[in-house]
Chains A and B, each alone.
Chain A
Amino acid sequence: MPKVKLPRNTPSLDMTPMVDLAFLLVTFFMLTASFRAAEPVVVDTPSSISEIMLPDNYLLVNIDKDGRAFYNITNKNVRIAALDEMGKRYNITFTDKQKKRFSLMTSFGVPMVQLPGYIDMEESQRLKFTSTGIPMDSTDNQLGAWVLSGYKQYQINLAGKKQEAEAKKETFDVKKFKLKFAIKADSKATYQSVKKVIDVFTTNEIYQFNMITTMEEKPKAK
């Protein structure tokens, strides 16, 4: 019996459209991705079932496992304004260059006296630097001052934006820009240290918080 020879075709596929699409998506994600700068502390948050995403504008207090507090404002303009206000309050003048550098920084955890030096450091130096955390005792409540000035400057910034929008006759949804107060604490932190930060907020009449957590699967309803 003669062997039946099957014609062997190499399956060739035109991959060009797929490649086009893949690169288009790569470009898109590359451009939209914002890389996080290295944080001065690693905070390992507890998990919860919450699916609420944080908005773009928030004041964040990081609490590491030793109870040190680190502060961060997401909005760059507000950051600069808050630094200005804090500088005036503690009699420290910041140069324009320092302000610019500060606006690009992530959270920081140094007292006001150390802040100019901390800003001037290179990023690699900053990572090696051991921060003491922002003081929040009743005698020297710098964290409270930071929170308050951040909150105040954000309102000023928001009012400016609103006026701008009104001048252009655009609708301005204040709700969308509502400032959230976030606390990101390490799961190993004691409740007492978190409570101290919460007390800083509550004495300034802020009672609504967002505790940053990692996602956990929801248990199925029976």
Chain B
Amino acid sequence: MAEVNSGGGGGHGKHDKKRAKKMSTRIDMTPMVDLAFLLLTFFILTSTFNKPKALDLAFPAKPKDTDIVDKTKANGISILITEDDKVYWYPGQLKPESEVQKTDYSKNGLRMIFTNGNSKIIVKMNALRKEAQGWDYDPAIADSMFKSKAKPIKGDPDALVVLIKADDKASYKNVIDVVDELNITDIGKFAIVDMTPEEKARLLTLK
């Protein structure tokens, strides 16, 4: 041994024997890295998914209620939400001869009604979205520009006006579902109003 590892000469045998074995300075970092990435993933996920998403909703001021109700005469539909996820609708104003139809929250229910009624606006909005994809602006500027361009389109006199009317037993989820469908079908003109006694009476006959 001493001869192989001889560093300083044959005479210092005692010293050579005691020399510490040179250890590698490399340590296996794999477990540490595993842990680090685990923590990293955890913090990234919790920090971004924590922020709540919000649905913008405006309620009509009390005196202006009649305004939007009047608008439904020409180009509006009313959605009646009631218990057990049941939903009905009728176009224009409620007259004794008008038909109140049953629908549902599926793709072929409310969304179909809204898409058919608001088809012109949807075409325009999709064109705007396509145009927006080509924009080469800062995201914040592009966003506000999109909003300002979308406003007149959604406010078009031809646009569908929707009145959402929920009775006492309706669930909050259903109301949000309807508002969500309105957002999907680019309907900007809608209001959540109280159900009239006539409508309540009509619903009773349908059950």
Cβ contacts under 8 Å, B55 to chain A: 48, 50, 52, 210-213
Q: Does any Cβ of A come within 8 Å of B47's Cβ?
A: yes
Q: Among B173, B177, B180, which residue has the most Cβ atoms of chain A within 10 A? A: B173
Among the stretches A28-36, A81-89, A120-128, A130-138, the one at the interface with B is A28-36
Cβ contacts under 8 Å, A48 to chain B: 53, 55, 176, 179-180, 183
Binary contact readout A191-214 vs B (1 if CB under 8 angstroms, 0 otherwise): 111110010011001011111111
Q: Does any Cβ of B come within 8 Å of A145's Cβ?
A: no
Q: Does any Cβ of A come within 8 Å of B44's Cβ?
A: yes
From B57, B111, B175, contact of A191 by CB (8 A): B175
Binary contact readout B26-61 vs A (1 if CB under 8 angstroms, 0 otherwise): 100100110011011001101100111111111111
Binary contact readout A177-201 vs B (1 if CB under 8 angstroms, 0 otherwise): 0001010111111111111001001
Q: Does any Cβ of A come within 8 Å of B94's Cβ?
A: no
User: Do A191 and B174 have beta carbons less than 8 Å apart?
Assistant: yes
**Smallest CB-CB separation from A209: which chain B residue?**
B57
Cβ contacts under 8 Å, A208 to chain B: 56-58
| Size category, B interface | 35 or more
The smallest C-beta distance from A193 to any residue of chain B, in angstroms, reads 8
**Smallest CB-CB separation from A190: which chain B residue?**
B171
Q: Among A46, A184, A214, which residue has the most Cβ atoms of chain B within 10 A? A: A46
Query: Known contacts A22-B37, A30-B43, A36-B50: does B170 contact A50 (CB below 8 Å)?
Result: no
Give Cα distance in the complex from A213 to B46, angstroms.
17
From B37, B54, B60, B166, contact of A213 by CB (8 A): B54
Which residues of chain B (178-195) have a CB below 8 Å from chain A?
Answer: 179-180, 183-184
Give Cα distance in the complex from A26 to B58, angstroms.
40
Give Cα distance in the complex from A214 to B55, angstroms.
9
Give Cα distance in the complex from A47 to B179, angstroms.
11
Q: Does any Cβ of A come within 8 Å of B126's Cβ?
A: yes
The smallest C-beta distance from B55 to any residue of chain A, in angstroms, reads 4
Q: Does any Cβ of B come within 8 Å of A51's Cβ?
A: yes
Give Cα distance in the complex from A211 to B54, angstroms.
5
User: Do A190 and B170 have beta carbons less than 8 Å apart?
Assistant: yes
Query: Known contacts A49-B183, A221-B126: does B33 contact A188 (CB below 8 Å)?
Result: no
User: Do B56 and A52 have beta carbons less than 8 Å apart?
Assistant: yes
Q: Does any Cβ of B come within 8 Å of A165's Cβ?
A: no
Give Cα distance in the complex from A12 to B27, angstroms.
12
**Residues on B facing A (Cβ under 8 Å):** 26, 29, 32-33, 36-37, 39-40, 43-44, 46-47, 50-62, 81, 107, 111, 126, 129, 166-177, 179-180, 183-184
**A–B pairs, 16, beta carbons within 8 Å:** A15-B29, A16-B29, A22-B37, A30-B39, A30-B43, A46-B173, A50-B180, A53-B52, A54-B51, A190-B168, A192-B170, A198-B59, A208-B58, A209-B58, A211-B55, A211-B176
Given known contacts A26-B43, A49-B183, A211-B179, what 20 new A-B pairs fall within 8 Å (CB)?
A19-B29, A22-B40, A25-B40, A29-B47, A30-B39, A50-B54, A50-B55, A187-B173, A188-B173, A190-B169, A190-B171, A192-B170, A194-B172, A194-B175, A202-B62, A207-B58, A209-B57, A209-B58, A212-B55, A219-B111
**Residues on A facing B (Cβ under 8 Å):** 12, 15-16, 18-19, 22-23, 25-26, 29-30, 32-33, 36, 46-54, 63, 180, 182, 184-195, 198, 201-202, 205, 207-216, 218-219, 221
